[in-house]
């Protein structure tokens, strides 16, 4: 799992995306590891549960992708983390990562002195979304540049390391 999340973070920092090949390899390895670790006769059930966790997390986070608030690779990496760790432990690792992301985002907004501007942008975005019911991307690299974004896979890596050190409450 550490290799998967570290690789995802590396790709996110270097290329601003996480390749599908990386995610598919992680899923294939996860299915194999899950099946091998399962008791005799339970390999298919264990692999199915692994895939079900991935599909569930992907479905829950998909609306954030539609609104362009999170990248598809970040959603897939999050889903793979929960697939490997299970819902209970995985949600905690992701929550730790979200906390790290929130702290990094706040620090970046304060350093760039644009916290107020971004909060107004968020408020106007949601107001427009509810008034017009038109889904437009919240973030567009061509319009907003990369200065407004943080590589979320790095936050997921930090959340996973935090989980390894602390565990769950």
Name the residue with higher pLDDT: 147 or 77.
77
pTM: 0.85
Q: Which tens digit of pLDDT belongs to each residue from 15-71?
A: 999 999 999 999 999 999 999 998 998 999 999 999 999 999 999 999 999 888 899
* Strand, coil or helix: 130: helix
Q: Greater confidence, 168 or 61?
A: 61
Alpha carbon distance 27, 43 (integer Å): 15
pLDDT in tens, 92-150: 999 999 999 999 989 988 888 888 888 888 888 889 888 998 887 776 766 666 676 78
Average pLDDT over residues 77-92: 96
* Total number of domains constituting the chain: 1
Range of the domain at 87: 2-166
- Dihedral, 20, 69, 135, 52 alpha carbons, nearest 10: 50
Confidence check: pLDDT of 81 > 70: yes
Residue 87's alpha-carbon distances to 34, 42, 52, 90, 101, in angstroms, are 15, 19, 11, 5, 20
Any idea how long the chain is?
A: 169
Locate tokens 């997921």: which residue?
Answer: 156
- pLDDT at position 144 is 67
pLDDT of residue 168: 83
Token pair recorded at residue 125: 């975005």
Q: Which residues, 6+ apart, have CB-to-CB distance to 9 below 8 Å?
A: 151, 153, 154, 156, 157
Neighbours of 52 (CB within 10 A): 12
């Amino acid at each position: 799992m550490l290799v998967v999340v570290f690789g995802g973070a590396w790709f996110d920092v270097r290329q601003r995306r996480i390749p599908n090949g990386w995610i598919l390899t992680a899923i294939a390895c996860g299915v194999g590891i899950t099946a091998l670790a399962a008791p005799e006769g339970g390999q298919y059930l264990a692999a199915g549960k692994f895939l079900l966790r991935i599909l569930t997390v992907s479905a829950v986070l998909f609306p954030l992708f539609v609104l362009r608030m999170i990248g598809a690779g970040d959603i897939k990496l999050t889903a793979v983390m929960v697939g490997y760790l299970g819902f209970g432990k995985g949600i905690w690792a992701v929550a730790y990562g979200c906390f790290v992301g929130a702290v990094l985002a706040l620090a970046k907004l304060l350093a760039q002195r644009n916290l107020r501007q971004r909060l107004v942008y968020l408020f106007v975005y949601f107001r427009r979304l509810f008034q017009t019911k038109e889904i437009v991307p919240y973030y567009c690299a061509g319009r907003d540049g990369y200065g407004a974004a943080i590589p979320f896979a790095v936050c997921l890596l930090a959340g996973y390391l935090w989980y390894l050190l602390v565990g769950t409450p």
